[in-house]
A and B are shown apart, each in its own frame.
Chain A
Amino acid sequence: MTPEKTQKNSNSEERTIRMPDTSHLIVSSSPHFHAETDIRRIMLTVIIALLPACAAGVYYFGWRALWVLLVCSASCISFEAIFSCFMKRPSELDDASALVTGLLLGMNLPSSTPLGVCIFGSLVAIGIGKMIYGGIGSNPFNPALVGRVAMLIAFPKVMTTWPIPHGAATSSAITGATPLMVLGSLQHAAQSGQAGALQTLGEHVSYMNLYLGNIGGSLGETCIPALLIGGIFLIYMNIIRWQIPVFYILTVFCITGLAYMISPAYFAAPTFHIMSGGLMLGAFFMATDMVTTPVSRTGAIIFAVGCGVITGSIRLWGSYPEGVSFSILIMNAFTPLIDRYTAGEPFGAPKDKKRGLQF
């Protein structure tokens, strides 16, 4: 505000000044900046994070594992394209979410799974798990887990036949038991009177092999370091919330730990539980699926604790040796409810007032 200094209008300065062309201006509502994130980028980051565990699976279970992964991925992508076509919807293949579903499904299977069964699983995962609800973002359940559970029910024999690592790299790999199955039979023995049966667990499964993944199991779930690298990468990239894996694993640890403290003769150590089965894979990659988990961080914690309680219960008292898939699917069903109850009050809402949210 210094009108004293204002210069006189000098038109003598006749530079050619180019003025903007206003005929093609875009008019839109603010904000006019956008963060450089999109679904495709998120999904590609998840795929990168899955690669170490996939590589470990191929290392331990041979080229047959790679075939399972490839067939699952390819058939998931194809089914998504086919379903989009049937549904007369623009294909959303470019967001790479079908590839993530395919990889996750493959990682949840034994490396000896027949390829035809893999294709069936992909059909269920994409068709019934995802597209039937309207595609990405609308599915209530994790598609890869829907596919896996359908396969588990339809082909129980195939799905519980586990090749042993470093076996012959063909479909005739020697089959063995997973650590949780060993545990199950030892528990059974302990309950039927063989005192100290569980003490032999260490002889059957060494902790080092358990940690490194040199054990029977689904091809992508055994190698803990590879899963941790991927999971921590995703947390670092802010793709998943640390609350879910941490609270999930912690809850399983606490529940199995409590059981172990009460009667070590009948239950395995919590460290054994958190390193065996699909817990790591589930906690870092399946329970963190954005679409099917609560939106808020408080909700994520409730969800993770719920998953942990169900997994722990199934493992300790259920007839299945493993409970990760079911626990996540069950908690998926609770997600909308959790979302509603964790919808917080806005900034500055009076504390004493009763919550105004109605549903």
Chain B
Amino acid sequence: MNKSYQFYGGVHPAQQKLARKSAIAVAPLFPFYTVPLSMHIGAPAKPIVKIGDKVLRGQMIAEAGGFVSAPVHSPTSGTIKDIKPCLGVTGVKTPCFIIESDGEDKEYERMKPFSDWQEADPKKILSRIAEAGVVGMGGAAFPTAVKLSPPPGKKIDTLILNGIECEPCLTDDHRLMLEKAKEILIGIQISARILGVKTIILGIEKNKPDAVEVMTEQAKDLPITVFPLNVRYPQGAEKQLIFALTKRKVPTGGLPMDVGCVVQNVASAFAVYNAVYKGIPLYERVTTITGTPLVSPGNWHLRIGTSFADAIRLAGGVKEDPAKIISGGPMMGFSVYSLEIPITKNSSGILLMSPSEITQFQSKSCIHCGRCNDVCPMQLMPGILSTQIENECFDLSENWNVLNCLDCGCCSYICPAGRPLVQHMRRAKAEIMAKRKEAKKDTPKGKASK
């Protein structure tokens, strides 16, 4: 397995990794933290503290609300001022804890570290990961403990550590690999032990040669292979990364475990290390705060619940007013309109774009150039789908496999007519899912159980 493969399609946007040289700094304490109850895929967490309660750093303040869920921990010591709906990155209000810091930052009784993780019972380690609220920190925020416990029957033989960071502008994974290489590698080995997997592959894009060097050096005596891959967006997407590294194709509608793979982001591996090896739950993450309007872009260890305003203040404020503020990277991030939005477990970055950097245009008719078709990593036909969706033919678009769309945005990025291709496909997916939900509701119970 010495050859690295390329995935289908993809684009090559400008990198603009402004903060690649700035070491991860530790953020000071802020007076208030807004901690959402739902920062992961699955059921929202259930609060176990009341308004007015005193909490300590690392104390669990909400427990998992189901099997696919994750608990939430307090980022600092202080008082729960309120539990109320607050704005999130998607523009939807979700219930959040408002925690007023007491400035002392006292730590809650730490969970017992598994310094003997090589011998410890994997089940116990797994429940520790669940208890520590670790989720996939690359984007989707899928609870890690669920990911690491595949149903019986599914045989996992490869664990992939995702150090791709294909989103332009973001540098948090890059810096983390440079500064916490050892910890990340322990984290991934813990995950490998839980899964009982022997093969661990680390994929890094070649635009991070220093990270490749450091990781190769650290992984020298470990059963981990480091694969430098050519730079291409969206290589960090699970299905694309699995194909690039192992040439296995995840079936449509399937999960990586269907081809015997589990993919874990480096930041998640680091969180696993913290949870298992040190007993620290997930209440802090590395976030890139970047963009040309900022005075000093950089990477910070930010507590979950830090508001965007505090984060931007950390980066020295702005030189000019930005035209867009984006949570995440420029290809898949959400543009926001308020600075009250908190950092969550999957906030990999805050990106500010100056008015000269943003592009605004009128969308024109499709000229059938086929560029979208060439760049689509899922080999769909975004141009044709977009015309169908514009005419509200959602059933037809379903036949043309619109549900396989990854949301990566390559098609909209490349379209010379400036058509909102991925946006159309998002709409179709939402419409189809809503329709399916409706159909499920309408079906009588007896039939549904069949």
Chain A residues in 8 Å Cβ range of B330: 30-33
Partner of A41, one of B374, B401, B416: B416
Known contacts A20-B339, A35-B414, A295-B381: does B367 contact A347 (CB below 8 Å)?
A: no
Partner of B378, one of A33, A38, A347: A347
The answer to whether B364 and A348 have CB atoms under 8 Å apart is no
Chain A residues in 8 Å Cβ range of B401: 345-346, 349, 356
Judged by a CB distance under 8 angstroms, whether B145 is at the interface is no
Known contacts A20-B322, A26-B335, A38-B417: does B250 contact A134 (CB below 8 Å)?
A: no
* Assembly CA distance A135 to B351 (angstroms): 39
The answer to whether B414 and A348 have CB atoms under 8 Å apart is no
Known contacts A8-B103, A9-B29, A34-B418: does B379 contact A21 (CB below 8 Å)?
A: no
* Assembly CA distance A294 to B401 (angstroms): 19
Judged by a CB distance under 8 angstroms, whether A296 is at the interface is yes
Chain A residues in 8 Å Cβ range of B280: 1, 3
Chain B residues in 8 Å Cβ range of A348: 239, 249-252, 254, 378, 404
Which secondary structure dominates where chain A touches chain B?
loop
Name the distance in Å between B181's Cβ and chain A's nearest Cβ: 15
Closest B residue to A335 by CB, please name it.
B368
* Assembly CA distance A17 to B316 (angstroms): 6
The answer to whether A37 and B309 have CB atoms under 8 Å apart is no
Chain B residues in 8 Å Cβ range of A205: none
Number of CB contacts from chain A to chain B under 8 A: 221
Give 1 or 0 for each of B422-448: 1 = CB within 8 Å of chain A CB. 110010000000000000000000000
Chain A residues in 8 Å Cβ range of B8: 347
Name the distance in Å between B320's Cβ and chain A's nearest Cβ: 9
The answer to whether A19 and B332 have CB atoms under 8 Å apart is no
The answer to whether A290 and B369 have CB atoms under 8 Å apart is yes
Judged by a CB distance under 8 angstroms, whether A293 is at the interface is yes
The answer to whether A136 and B364 have CB atoms under 8 Å apart is yes
Most chain A CB inside 10 Å of its own CB: which residue of B168, B336, B370: B370
The answer to whether A296 and B324 have CB atoms under 8 Å apart is no
Closest A residue to B325 by CB, please name it.
A25
Judged by a CB distance under 8 angstroms, whether B105 is at the interface is yes
Ranked 5 nearest A-B pairs via Cβ? A137-B365, A31-B409, A17-B317, A295-B370, A346-B404
The answer to whether A31 and B31 have CB atoms under 8 Å apart is no
9 new A-B contacts, CB < 8 A, other than A3-B105, A30-B334, A290-B370, are A2-B301, A5-B26, A9-B31, A18-B318, A27-B324, A30-B333, A137-B368, A346-B401, A347-B378
Chain B residues in 8 Å Cβ range of A296: 370, 373, 381
Name the distance in Å between A38's Cβ and chain B's nearest Cβ: 5
Give 1 or 0 for each of A122-143: 1 = CB within 8 Å of chain B CB. 0000000000001111100000
The answer to whether B367 and A9 have CB atoms under 8 Å apart is no
Name the distance in Å between B375's Cβ and chain A's nearest Cβ: 9
Judged by a CB distance under 8 angstroms, whether A200 is at the interface is no
* Assembly CA distance A235 to B101 (angstroms): 62
* Assembly CA distance A99 to B338 (angstroms): 46
Give 1 or 0 for each of B212-250: 1 = CB within 8 Å of chain A CB. 000000000000000000000000000100010000011
Give 1 or 0 for each of B377-409: 1 = CB within 8 Å of chain A CB. 111110110000000000000011100100001
Chain B residues in 8 Å Cβ range of A92: 364
Give 1 or 0 for each of B38-69: 1 = CB within 8 Å of chain A CB. 00000000000000000001100000000000
Known contacts A33-B331, A39-B367, A290-B367: does B324 contact A26 (CB below 8 Å)?
A: yes
Judged by a CB distance under 8 angstroms, whether B420 is at the interface is yes
The answer to whether A20 and B293 have CB atoms under 8 Å apart is yes
Judged by a CB distance under 8 angstroms, whether A358 is at the interface is yes
Judged by a CB distance under 8 angstroms, whether B34 is at the interface is no
Judged by a CB distance under 8 angstroms, whether B5 is at the interface is no
Closest A residue to B27 by CB, please name it.
A6
Chain B residues in 8 Å Cβ range of A346: 252, 378-380, 401, 404
Partner of A33, one of B28, B168, B318, B417: B168
Give 1 or 0 for each of A287-313: 1 = CB within 8 Å of chain B CB. 000111111110010000000000000
Closest B residue to A32 by CB, please name it.
B330
Name the distance in Å between B151's Cβ and chain A's nearest Cβ: 20
* Assembly CA distance A345 to B380 (angstroms): 8
Partner of A17, one of B313, B333, B351, B353: B313
Name the distance in Å between B101's Cβ and chain A's nearest Cβ: 8
The answer to whether A39 and B417 have CB atoms under 8 Å apart is yes
Closest B residue to A343 by CB, please name it.
B381
Closest B residue to A300 by CB, please name it.
B370
Judged by a CB distance under 8 angstroms, whether A28 is at the interface is yes
* Assembly CA distance A147 to B351 (angstroms): 51
Chain B residues in 8 Å Cβ range of A345: 379, 401
* Assembly CA distance A41 to B364 (angstroms): 14
Chain A residues in 8 Å Cβ range of B414: 35, 37
A to B CB contacts below 8 Å, 26 in the list: A1-B301, A2-B26, A6-B28, A9-B30, A18-B317, A18-B319, A19-B313, A20-B322, A25-B322, A31-B409, A33-B14, A33-B331, A34-B412, A35-B13, A38-B418, A42-B416, A137-B417, A291-B367, A291-B368, A295-B370, A296-B381, A346-B378, A347-B379, A348-B254, A348-B378, A358-B399
Judged by a CB distance under 8 angstroms, whether B144 is at the interface is no
The answer to whether A19 and B318 have CB atoms under 8 Å apart is yes
Closest B residue to A25 by CB, please name it.
B337
Judged by a CB distance under 8 angstroms, whether B107 is at the interface is yes
Chain B residues in 8 Å Cβ range of A6: 26-29, 105
Name the distance in Å between B56's Cβ and chain A's nearest Cβ: 11
